[in-house]
Amino acid sequence: MLIEVADLKLSIHANPVLNGVRLTMQEGEIYGLLGPNGAGKSTTLSVLTGLRAADSGKVNVLGLAPMQQKRELHGKLGVLAEDSGFYGWMSAHGYLHWMARLYGRELSAVEMARRLEQVGLNAANRQAIKTYSRGMKQRLGLARALLNDPQLLILDEPTNGLDPRGRREIHDVLLELSREHGVGILLCTHLLDDVDRLCSRIGIINQGKTLLEGVLAELLADKTGANRYRLRVAASSATSGTLPQGVKLLAQEGGWLHLDIAPGVHPDAAWRELFALGWGITEIRSEGGGLEELYLNITETEVVA
């Protein structure tokens, strides 16, 4: 397991900031940590990275205790903190060389070019960092986080300041790292689109407490009715008879058939079987809400409660 956090509690100046955070993350997983401003996401990250000690609870990152085995952990961890700065007088090339040496690594020219290319900074690598846009600094921050070829990458708002193309490029880099190199990625972001595209598991925290944690697809199906669909079928087609296993007809109105697909049944398989039964399906629409609805429901429920 990459991260194991249970019942994490922390007060800062007698003010409880974390009050029962839990988080479990496996190898190669991309985990989205969500929550409103001030929910305790960044504080959780600072505990995970050994920058802050917890008052109580279990914290285990890469099999290490962050506060006690800080140096060892930092050698295996890549972090892009929110609003992390750079030495503006250095160039990206010089800065990455210098940071790599702090990790005990000497980057060859080829290796440096590959790393800069990976984040799309090769063209500007000799410019002083102070001339960089926010998006370029985010890319450089990601390159810095990857310098030690980490087993676990912790990213706080990694696509902040990036244009849509830049965001897509960073998504591709992260997906490649996860799929091809087995790097675990903990993503802390407000951009639900990032989570939707990248994350397999999510955790939602509010007021320092984990409200929900699990596999994204399952949570969406369970909490927002993401397993419900409506189908338009050709008037001449047959829609009576026995339905495939796991498919339930809920209602029929205005030319639409409302169906429920049981968890575990892949919708594509269900459509194929319905076609085989003679259903002339012309249109399929999901009736369930997305991540935004799930997020708003969970955080709103907690505030009301």
Partner 1 sequence: MNPIILIASKESGELLGSGRGLGWLLALSVILSVLALLLVSNTELSLLDNAQVVYMVMGTITALGGLLALVLGSDAIAGEKERGTLIPLLLTPLTTTQMVLGKMGGQVVAWVLMYALSLPYLWAVGSSGQNLVQAIAYLALFGTPVVLGFGFYAIGLSARFGNVRTALLAALITLMLLASPLLIGPSLRQSTLGKLFDMVNPFSAALNTFDSVVIDSQPFSMQLGRFSVTLIWLALTLWFARRSAQAMEI
Q: How far is the CB of 34 from partner 1 (least distance, A)?
A: 22
Give the amino acid at 291. Answer: L
Cα–Cα distance for residue pair 71/296, rounded to 1 Å: 39
Window contacting partner 1 (CB under 8 A); options: 24-32, 102-110, 165-173, 180-188? 102-110
Cα–Cα distance for residue pair 128/91, rounded to 1 Å: 4
Position among 15, 37, 71, 126 found at the interface with partner 1 (CB under 8 A) = 71
Q: How far is the CB of 141 from partner 1 (least distance, A)?
A: 8
Closest of 2, 3, 1 to residue 210, by C-alpha: 3
Nearest-10 Cα torsion for 90, 91, 96, 99: 0
Interface characters, 23-62, with partner 1 (x: CB under 8 A): -----------------------x--x-xx----------
Position among 27, 38, 83, 285 found at the interface with partner 1 (CB under 8 A) = 83
Position among 1, 56, 101, 163 found at the interface with partner 1 (CB under 8 A) = 101
Task: Enumerate residues 111-150 that contact partner 1 by CB under 8 A.
Answer: 144
Cα–Cα distance for residue pair 116/214, rounded to 1 Å: 35
Q: Residue 85, interface with partner 1 (CB under 8 A)?
A: yes
Position among 30, 41, 61, 74 found at the interface with partner 1 (CB under 8 A) = 74
Q: Report the sign of the C-alpha dihedral through residues 92, 94, 98, 103, in that order.
A: positive
Cβ(238)–Cβ(277) below 8 Å? yes
Cα–Cα distance for residue pair 43/82, rounded to 1 Å: 11
Sites of contact with partner 1 (CB under 8 A): 46, 49, 51-52, 71-72, 74-75, 77, 79, 81, 83-87, 89, 98-99, 101-104, 144
